[in-house]
Amino acid sequence: MYSQTVMEHFMNPRNVGQIEDPDGVGEVGNSVCGDVMTFYIKVKDDHLEDVKFQTFGCGAAIAVSSMVSEMAKGKTLEEALTITPTLVAQELGGLPKNKYHCSNLGAQALGKAIRDYAQKKGITIKGLELKGEEDEGEE
């Protein structure tokens, strides 16, 4: 049912926790399945210096959060905004159809953390307009 990569990220998730005094925080949830993801970012020179998460949810949600944090760390803010649910699912070796919504949540939570950072700094980040609030609740 789950790929070996999904199981690895579920059993040994990377970057779990909070960042003390984060530059941005993004939280998303799905009321149908109960998954809640919170991403914390630290930005230095327009790069994601650190990315951490706290996820309450199923194994797929935890694996997605772990993978998104790994994919985003070290990238520029613009590059991080190009992380899509499809890319996350591909990196994980696929997700069952009924768990694909988890990859949406991971990408949305990261996008919200970057949006939070941009709003705090009063800056515009190319690609952020594509990761708007309209993404919320999509499955």
Active-site position among 7, 33, 58, 118: 33
133's CB contacts (< 8 A; 6+ apart) are: none
58 catalytic per annotation? no
Residues forming a β-bridge with 25: 40
**Separation of alpha carbons 118 and 114, rounded Å:** 6
Helix/strand/coil percentages in the chain, nearest 5:
45, 20, 35
Residue 33 annotated to the active site: yes
Catalytic residue selected from 6, 37, 102, 110: 102
The answer to whether 130 and 115 are in contact (CB under 8 A) is no
Residues marked as catalytic:
33, 102
